[in-house]
Amino acid sequence: MKAGAHPTHGLAPKGKKAKVKSDKPEKYQPRVDMWGAISYNKPLAFDVKTSEDRKKEGVKGYRKRHLKSFLRKKIAPKISSMHTNVILNMDRGFHCKSGELLTELKAGGAENVEDVWIFPPNAGKLCNPLDNNLWHSMKERVRKKSPNGEKELAKKAKKEFMNISSKDLHSYFKNCALTYGTDPYKDLEDME
């Protein structure tokens, strides 16, 4: 998500200075990398990297090691506190094998993970609840709050993500055809 897309000029009555929220020109827009995990009823965890964080680590974005750390330190404790068996679903980012991710979750204490399903290429838009509307609607809510700078954007993005309602999550899951009773072939029928 771009962090600095704010106007640097505004309108004001004659003799008064215009109020603007940003003093940076729009040419440079710092990027904030986000990573999130949800269950059917609530958001589980959210992680964010600002350009400052990436510069400290000497990387340009998320790497496989960041994903593994996210799973072990943030997701595994949340999953282990659930009183049910869990199947983790994720897109093909970072070209991980399900065994690698299962190992990270077990190392973090999540013994109740049955399996890890990695979506095949181009399947995320159809069956990933995060890709349907969740990210788009969350980003729109963050933009409405007009964060000024990367750090403020990161804080507001985390707050918005973690405050996603269970009602919204249920609708995202319903659209992606991963829940009981939905027809996974409904899109194919339209093509005939």
DSSP for residue 111 = T
CA distance 173 to 32: 26
Domain ranges of the chain: 33-160
Average pLDDT of span 15-26: 65
Q: Which two tokens stand for residue 34?
A: 């986000």
pLDDT by residue (tens digit) across 76-116?
Answer: 999 999 989 998 888 766 788 889 999 999 999 999 999 88
Q: Which two tokens stand for residue 181?
A: 């009773």
Per-residue model confidence (pLDDT) at position 14: 82
Strand ranges for the chain from DSSP E? 33-38, 43-49, 86-90, 113-118
Q: What is the pTM of this model?
A: 0.73
Residue count (the chain): 192
pLDDT at 175 over 70: no
Between vectors from CA 165 to CA 108 and to CA 1, what angle results, nearest 5°? 75
Indicate if the pLDDT at residue 129 is higher than 70: no
Residue 177: band (very low, low, confident or very high) from pLDDT cuts 50, 70, 90: low
pLDDT of amino acid 81: 93
